[in-house]
Homo-oligomer: A and B are copies of this chain.
Amino acid sequence: MITLTPSPFSPSEALADFEKEARGAGAIVSFTGLVRDRAGDADVDGLHLQAYSPMTENGIEKAAADARQRWPLTALRIIHRTGDMGPFEPIVFVATASAHRRAAFEAADFLMDYLKTEAVFWKREFTKTGNRWIEPRAEDYSDSARWTQTNMETDRNARHK
């Protein structure tokens, strides 16, 4: 299930709900992203997240379907904030459940890479010294490139040798 919400949400409540849904799964991985209070050497006063509905939702649905095709998941949950939020507030929550812990880890990791670099959001950071739009870093793009089919096989081989 996928939710975009302009209101604060609780990752631990989301995990509690997910546990019920994933009952019998064996392995559950969750990722929570929180608003930083520092960016470089500036204090962060808040963040604004802009979405473009329904393109944003459709893209996330597609990534979730992709994850389900790549890994044997028994449940999947994505919550993403939009609008204005303050430091320490959760921006994003991803949970995956599977019989296999590697599948749960990799699927959560994959979905976060999608959300960081491909999900249709624009992010603005408010600091004392001004406001700036934040675009993904080179590191985010290279993390995301790990999941192209060819790289994934290279990765698997390297891991398991």
Tell me the smallest distance from the CB of A81 to a CB of chain B, in Å: 14
Q: Is the CB of B99 within 8 A of A105?
A: no
CB of A159 within 8 Å of the partner chain:
yes
Q: Which residues of B contact A146 (CB under 8 A)?
A: 159-160
Structural contact, B12 and A101, CB atoms closer than 8 A:
no
Shortest Cβ distance from residue A24 to the other chain B in the assembled complex, whole angstroms = 5
In the bound complex, do residue A34 and residue B29 qualify as a contact, i.e. CB atoms below 8 Å apart? Answer: no
Q: Which residues does chain B contribute within 8 Å of A15, judged by CB atoms?
A: 11-12, 15, 30, 32
User: In the complex, are the beta carbons of A31 and B105 less than 8 A apart?
Assistant: yes
Q: Are A28 and B19 in contact (CB under 8 A)?
A: no
Residues of chain B with a CB closer than 8 A to A109's CB: 105
- Per a CB cutoff under 8 Å, which of B13, B31, B88, B142 touches A101? B31
A19: chain B residues within 8 A (beta carbon): 11-12, 32, 34
- In the assembled complex, A51 has its CB within 8 A of some CB on chain B: no
A33–B27 CB distance below 8 A? yes
